[in-house]
Structure 1
Amino acid sequence: MNWITNYVRPRINSIFSRREMPENLWTKCDACGTMLFHRELTEALNVCTSCGHHMAISPRQRFEALFDGGIFNEVDVPAPVDDPLRFRDQKKYPDRLRAAQKATGEAEAMLVAEGEMGRTPIVAAAQDFSFMGGSMGMYVGNAIIAAAQRAVALKRPLILFSAAGGARMQEGILSLMQMPRTTVAVQMLREAGLPYIVVLTHPTTGGVTASYAMLGDVQIAEPNALICFAGPRVIEQTIREKLPEGFQRAEYLLDHGMLDRVTPRAELRDELIRITRMLLGLTPAVAGDLPAPAAGGDAPATTP
């Protein structure tokens, strides 16, 4: 027996041919169970290529797909008081914030940015449901006010992507106060004659739907998004009746006049470009992805 041939060589080959398989290469669709390759899923904007199920997408990923060339500038948001109620449940509130910041890489549950979409300058804000359920706290209220003020100052429309489980209980009444504050911010846009477009994504619930999420000049939703104040389970337990099929989903609300559009994510950018330019009284833009605007180039007029 040649021990070099029968043992040593196979052992060496196994060491050098061994490859570690990263755990994040595949994602399982929540709806149909299909295993999706991460690169294919990213190109599809986190939409299942098998059944069309819309998975969660971060604000940065959304903005990279929304703005021309994926280029945008973040708008500064005033930081609120840290832990105003000294709230503690199983963890301290600051500990929960730090854990969410580490998991998402974001400072808070809303990102505000400005840039061009189809050569149309806009201001956009998006909630991150993975950050403490996208809950509406003082920072989210400050973010919406900052977005509205920036839009008014630049005379640009505001597009907001909502995704939230409601108010943030760790901030108590201060969280609920963001409902009238954000309503005032929307009124600022109205008085300036600027469009305010809301895209409701899954899920949009609680005090968010009772304030800024349902005040848009145009209400668009992604397919099968849950949009409600109280969830269907709570309603069923309260009224002790079975709810209709698809109750509180985007398509149900569209059929009952609560929405203007239900648009798949892949078509959303072109839809927003058309609606925005129409509301601004501008000529139609070229559909499809556009490169980033040239540095120092003149932006088209946006005064409605």
Structure 2
Amino acid sequence: MNWITNFVRPKINSMLGRRDMPDNLWIKDPETGEMVFHKDLEQNQFVIPSSGYHMKITAKERLKAFLDDGAYSLLENPKVALDPLKFRDEKRYTDRLRDYKAKTGLEDAVVSATGSIEGLPIVVTVQDFSFMGGSLGMAAGEAIIKAFETAIEQKKPLVLFSASGGARMQEGILSLMQLARTTVGVDRLKEAGLPYIVVLTNPTTGGVTASYAMLGDIHIAEPGAVIGFAGARVIEQTIREKLPEGFQRSEYLMEHGMVDMVVSRLDMKATVSRLLKILLKEKATEEPLADILPPVPAVTEARAEA
């Protein structure tokens, strides 16, 4: 079989002028099973046109789509100790980091940059889920703090796109310390009077949800994103009850007041720009704030008595 696959088939294809079809030419919609041409998907910011399903994208793809003309200047991530605990599971932590760096082209799970949206200068921080599940370790924590410091120094608002499975277990307590350290960064940004908007993408869980991802002035979520602390299965096993349908999804959380808005990736740039200009007291748009934010549900008599 190897001889046929490796020699005979390529020889026949070359004689007939055939070319091999790339494996990623068509991408399957996880919800409907529909096959979508990858160029169409790329032009639509990796949102399935028919179903609206939001595919995961890399940090640099997000920066390119979100910022004006796709132009940005990357902030250099601070250097940290690579393996302070000398951790090893199936492989050494240093080997695992090296593999992910080669695979993604990133230094760690967080990428920060300066740029502008609709002419407004901002600092943007993006977590890349493809790097160890966007887990929060010392390098990621330092990169986030560096972004807050840059925003304060340059007097710019900060927009953070979260995507994470939580703290990085290979760094133990040193990873958990980043929850407190990044929270201090949020406080300093707010003391400087600068807006902080968080965009929650799929998934945002664990210690990231328990820290800077839920401390924004405004919380926006992409449609269908999983947002929470513990996983739904763990919660069900703990409380021994069946969770409601759509639990921990963006739409469910907005209905219950945990996020302010659910916004498509295609409308994210315009929405964030309007909100930032309102928060900065600049002339944003003819649309009042009430037209941007979703309506607040009316309080019924039964709820008022409760």
TM-score, scaled relative to structure 1:
0.88
Residues 282 and 88 of structure 1: CA distance in aligned 2, closer, same or farther (over 3 Å): same
Q: CA deviation at 1:14?
A: 6.5
What's the secondary structure of 1:141's corresponding residue?
helix
Deviating more after overlay: 121-130 vs 14-23: 14-23
Query: Could you tell me which amino acid in structure 2 is paired with residue 17 of structure 1?
Result: G
Partner of 2:259: 259
Matches within 5 A, 1:22-101: 22-101=22-101
Matched letter for residue 281 of structure 1 = K
- The AA in structure 1 aligned to 2:166 is G
Corresponding letter in the other structure for 1:30: P
Where do residues 1-304 of structure 1 align in structure 2 (5 Å cutoff)? 15-284=15-284
C-alpha contact 1:119 1:285 (8 A) present in aligned 2: no
Letter in 1 for 2:256: H
The offset of 1:286, in angstroms, is 10
Aligned-partner SS, 1:203: strand
Which amino acid is 1:247 matched to? F
Counterparts of 2:240 and 2:169, CA distance in 1: 27
Q: Which amino acid aligns with 1:58?
A: T
Write the deviation string for residues 79-134 of structure 1: whole angstroms up to 9, x where unpaired. 11110000000010011111111221111101000011110000000001111000
Task: Give the conservation status (yes or no) of the 8 Å contact 2:110–2:125.
Answer: yes
217-226 or 96-105, which deviates more? 96-105
Distance 1:15 1:191, change over 3 A: same
Unaligned runs of 5+ in 2: 1-10, 288-306
RMSD: 1.6
CA distances 1:8-67 after superposition (whole Å, capped 9, x unpaired): xxx999715211211121111211111111111101111112211111011111110111
Rounded Cα–Cα distance in structure 1 between residues aligned with 2:34 and 2:135 = 30
SS in 1 for 2:115: strand
Runs ≥4 residues deviating over 3 A: 11-14
Structure-2 change in CA distance of 1:38 and 1:286 (3 Å):
farther
Structure 1: which 5+ residue stretches go unaligned? 1-10, 288-304
- How many residue pairs were aligned? 277
Distance of 2:12 and 2:59 partners within structure 1: 47
Partner amino acid, structure 1, of 2:212: Y
Matched residue SS, 2:207: helix
Report the secondary structure of 2:201's partner residue: strand
For 1:286 and 1:87, the matched residues in 2 are separated by 55
Task: State the alpha-carbon separation in 2 of the partners of residues 227 and 195 from structure 1.
Answer: 22
2:283 partner amino acid: T
Bigger relative contact order, structure 1 or 2, given CA contacts below 8 A and separation 6+? 1
CA 1:12–1:223 in 2, change beyond 3 Å: closer, same or farther? closer
